[in-house]
Amino acid sequence: MFAILVLFVVSFADVTLQAEWTYSQQSAWPGVCNAGLGQSPINIMTQEAIVDKHHAHIRGPLIFRGYNDVPLYGSNNGHTVKWSGVADGPAPVLAGGPLRGNYTFLQFHFHWLSEHAIDGMKYPLEVHMVHIKTGLTLDEALARADGLAVIGVFFLMHRGYGSDRALEEIIPMMPYIVNSSQNNTEPRRIDITRLLSNEPQSYYTYHGSLTTPMCQEVVTWIVMDKPIYISPDQYALFTKVDVGGDYNYRSLQPRNNRVVYRSIASCASIMAPTLPGTLISLFSCLSTSLAAGVNKGVGAFLNIKRKIFGTPAKNCVKAK
Ligand SMILES: *[C@@H]1O[C@H](CO)[C@@H](O)[C@H](O)[C@H]1NC(C)=O
Ligand SMILES: *[C@@H]1O[C@H](CO)[C@@H](O)[C@H](O)[C@H]1NC(C)=O
Ligand SMILES: *[C@@H]1O[C@H](CO)[C@@H](O)[C@H](O)[C@H]1NC(C)=O
Ligand SMILES: [Zn+2]
């Protein structure tokens, strides 16, 4: 059955307001951006993430409906490159996991470097798939704590067969949206499942905010712990995109008293061999040199193996 009943009906104005703001002056961001206690992104400490053994919070598997073949057009809003659903087109629907009810896909966009960090480590790129609680208008969604659900997936830089597969369908659209002054692209059919991790049931989840002004605290974050791949050539294209500065990631925000949950599937692999790859240590580069490194291209990255802390997570051991 290919009939997808849910259509894009909400307006595709930006989820964020198009006010003047820059990544280089984040302390000047308005509203709750600097006052809120539930902001994103955060550094996810794997040792502190709670496994929800009694399924009180994560009640079942995530369910992805209709992600395989979705007409999307590309655009550059001056802060990122973004792929959005066409009005009245088929819209994927996300449900399950920590979510109560259905969430309709709106758009995906990218941040380089990644916004979230895992145990203090950042990845070169993170994709955000933004979903709105089905049936709500954008204004309604931005006014309630469960209004949006965003999936974050990290990219590892990898040179080798298949490493360009995840982004293969959208990369040809990049030249048309490198400049923020360029028009939106024509829609093209995209298989969004290519941008999901190979183990989409393996993730962290917590409640947070949009990572751009107005930073509304209305987001159920689902951050997949298994990265996907980007080739160095593809990454070089991202670094050329006009985003009003050298980078487009928000600084890490305090977790405060929020709980980060992890899915049981993410525990199953905690003892698995670590993935070698290109990662950025937050502690070895200051953001300015980091940004400069991004602009100089892939050669500037440090090759660091991901560190899994020595002792296994207590919660995960119990969950087995
Ligand atoms: C979510 O969508 C599915 C499939 O269309 C539907 O069967 C289900 O009733 C919806 N759930 C809610 C809570 O609306
Ligand atoms: C837009 O792209 C052209 C090349 O196609 C480049 O020369 C120009 O500097 C770009 N403008 C901006 C604002 O990035
Ligand atoms: C953008 O679209 C407008 C209206 O269709 C057109 O006049 C203009 O030439 C386009 N600009 C570019 C850079 O393609
Ligand atoms: Zn984002």
Taking residues 271-286, what's their average pLDDT?
44
What is the C-alpha to C-alpha distance for residues 73 and 91, in angstroms, rounded to an integer? 13
One of 3.20.20.60, 3.10.200.10, 3.40.640.10, 2.40.30.10 is the CATH number of 2-318, namely 3.10.200.10
Which residue's C-alpha comes closest to atom 4 of ligand 3?
183
Q: Is the pLDDT of residue 319 over 60?
A: no
Question: For residue 293, what pLDDT band results from cuts at 50, 70 and 90?
Answer: very low
pLDDT of residue 17: 47
Gap from CA of 91 to ligand 3 centroid (Å): 27
Out of 24-28, 61-65, 287-291, least confident range: 287-291
Which residue's C-alpha comes closest to atom 3 of ligand 1?
102
Q: Is the pLDDT of residue 251 over 80?
A: yes
Q: What is the pTM of this model?
A: 0.85
What is the C-alpha to C-alpha distance for residues 183 and 12, in angstroms, rounded to an integer? 15
Gap from CA of 296 to ligand 1 centroid (Å): 47
- Which atom of ligand 2 lies at the shortest distance from residue 181's CA? 13
Which residue's C-alpha comes closest to atom 12 of ligand 2?
179
State percent of the chain over pLDDT 70: 78
The 3-state DSSP class for residue 204 equals strand
Choose among 8, 262, 245: nearest CA to 118.
262
Taking residues 160-180, what's their average pLDDT?
96
CB 186 within 8 A of CB 73: yes
Q: In what order do the strands lie in the sheet with 117-118?
A: 43-44, 117-118, 121-122, 280-281
The ligand that comes nearest to the alpha carbon of residue 1 is 1
Question: For residue 250, what pLDDT band results from cuts at 50, 70 and 90?
Answer: very high
Structural tokens at position 302: 């440090």
Which residue's C-alpha comes closest to atom 2 of ligand 3?
183
Out of 16-20, 152-156, 239-243, 304-308, least confident range: 304-308
The ligand that comes nearest to the alpha carbon of residue 40 is 4
Residues taking part in catalysis: 79
Q: Is the pLDDT of residue 289 over 70?
A: no
The ranges assigned to domains in the chain are 2-318
- Mean pLDDT score across all residues of the chain: 84
Question: For residue 285, what pLDDT band results from cuts at 50, 70 and 90?
Answer: very low
Q: Is the pLDDT of residue 269 over 70?
A: no
Gap from CA of 12 to ligand 3 centroid (Å): 19
| CB-side neighbour CA atoms (13 Å) of 274 | 11
More confident residue, 3 or 61: 61
Residue 187 corresponds to which amino acid?
P
Contacts of 67 (CB under 8 A, 6+ apart): 92, 105, 191, 192, 193, 196
What is the C-alpha to C-alpha distance for residues 198 and 166, in angstroms, rounded to an integer? 10
44-53 tens-digit pLDDT: 999 999 998 8
Q: How many CB atoms lie within 10 A of CB 26?
A: 13
What is the C-alpha to C-alpha distance for residues 41 and 234, in angstroms, rounded to an integer? 24
pLDDT of residue 54: 85
CB 114 within 8 A of CB 157: no
The 3-state DSSP class for residue 163 equals coil
- Which atom of ligand 3 lies at the shortest distance from residue 183's CA? 1
pLDDT of residue 3: 41
Q: Which of 177, 182, 183, 184 to mutate to test the pocket of ligand 3 (most atoms within 8 A of CB)?
A: 183
Q: Is the pLDDT of residue 11 over 80?
A: no
120-155 tens-digit pLDDT: 999 999 999 999 999 999 999 999 999 999 999 999
Contacts of 124 (CB under 8 A, 6+ apart): 112, 113, 114, 155, 156, 157, 230, 235, 278, 279, 280, 301
Taking residues 6-29, what's their average pLDDT?
68
Residue-by-residue DSSP string for 241-285: S-SSSS---PPP---TTPPPEE-HHHHHTTTSPPPPSB-EETTTS
- Protein residues with CB under 6 Å of any ligand 2 atom: 179, 242
Question: For residue 301, what pLDDT band results from cuts at 50, 70 and 90?
Answer: very low
What is the C-alpha to C-alpha distance for residues 73 and 206, in angstroms, rounded to an integer? 29
The 3-state DSSP class for residue 136 equals coil
Q: Is the pLDDT of residue 243 over 90?
A: yes
What is the C-alpha to C-alpha distance for residues 154 and 143, in angstroms, rounded to an integer? 28
Could you tell me if residue 54 is left (phi over 0), alpha (psi between -120 and 50 degrees) or otherwise beta? alpha
More confident residue, 291 or 81: 81
Q: Is the pLDDT of residue 1 over 70?
A: no
Gap from CA of 249 to ligand 1 centroid (Å): 34
Gap from CA of 247 to ligand 4 centroid (Å): 13
Which residue's C-alpha comes closest to atom 1 of ligand 2?
179
CB 113 within 8 A of CB 290: yes
Choose among 203, 205, 204, 207: nearest CA to 37.
207
68-105 tens-digit pLDDT: 999 999 999 999 999 999 999 999 999 999 999 999 99
Could you tell me if residue 31 is left (phi over 0), alpha (psi between -120 and 50 degrees) or otherwise beta? left
Question: For residue 112, what pLDDT band results from cuts at 50, 70 and 90?
Answer: very high
Q: Is the pLDDT of residue 310 over 70?
A: no
The ligand that comes nearest to the alpha carbon of residue 241 is 2
Contacts of 259 (CB under 8 A, 6+ apart): 50, 206
Choose among 173, 80, 176: nearest CA to 129.
80
Taking residues 177-191, what's their average pLDDT?
97
Question: For residue 31, what pLDDT band results from cuts at 50, 70 and 90?
Answer: confident
